[in-house]
Amino acid sequence: MRCSNCSEPANIAHGNYQFKESGLENVILCGIELIKCDHCGNEDPIIPGMDDLFRTIALALVTKPYGLAGEEVRFLRKYMGLTGDGFSRLLHIDKTTLSKWENNDDPVGTQSDLAIRMLTMSRDNSLLNKLDSVIREHFEKIQFRAHCVRIHRRGAKKNRYVPERPSIEIKTSDLTYAYA
């Protein structure tokens, strides 16, 4: 086994890995096999079943106990294989609105957030099977309280929306997930 970064011999170890390649900063793969290089410190995860892993992340997001963050909307849109155009048309919003959501310039409205979650489940058969239970067990409990911070922008003080981003910890052995 060789390091993908420096080509020195590398070892396999088990550990946790922050799965930034998902486009999300808060996804942790727990107990995953890593190719670890003692020479340069590089770590490459060995990810079995990328489709199932992405489905688990999608399931974690549609059951998220807080409103969706912009990058999570983007993740779900891409998971559905939709372009910004196609997604905007489905939700009857203009592309500027979608862009503001995905960049966390505007919070996603409550009903739009719920529609995005249902749309995601409708387009994936194994998530569709869970639609009823996800709605019954999770939707009422979602907290949409906006978390605002004061920022300075172009000389003016402004409130900026900051979404809740609890870590999604995915056990790679059985693809169960928990919010930390």
Residues that bind Zn ion (CB under 5 A): 3, 5-6, 8, 37, 39-40, 42
How wide is the angle at C-alpha 139 spanned by C-alphas 76 and 170, nearest 5°? 50
Taking the least distance from each CB to Zn ion, the nearer of 42 and 104 is 42
- Count Cβ atoms within 10 A of the Cβ of residue 58 and give its class: 0-12 exposed, 13-18 middle, 19 or more buried: buried
* Contact assessment for residue 60 and residue 180, using Cβ atoms and an 8 Å cutoff: no
CB of 35 to Zn ion, least distance (A): 9
Question: Which of 126, 127, 102 is closest to 117 using CA atoms?
Answer: 127
What pairing do the DSSP bridges indicate for beta strands 156-162 and 11-18?
Answer: unpaired
Q: How distant is the alpha carbon of residue 111 from its chain centre?
A: 19
**Would you say 37 or 58 has its CB closer to Zn ion?**
37
State the virtual CA torsion across 176, 134, 76, 25 in degrees, nearest 10: -40
Nearer to Zn ion by Cβ, of 42 and 167: the residue is: 42
Q: Give whichever of 3 and 53 is closer to Zn ion, judged by the CB atom.
A: 3
Shortest Cβ distance from residue 48 to Zn ion (Å)? Answer: 22
User: What is the closest distance, in whole angstroms, from the C-beta atom of residue 11 to Zn ion in the complex?
Assistant: 11
Q: Which is nearer to Zn ion, 43 or 124 (CB)?
A: 43
Q: How far apart are CB 12 and Zn ion at their closest, in Å?
A: 14
| Segments of 7-62 assigned E as strands | 11-18, 27-36, 43-46
Q: How far is the CB of 55 from Zn ion (least distance, A)?
A: 31
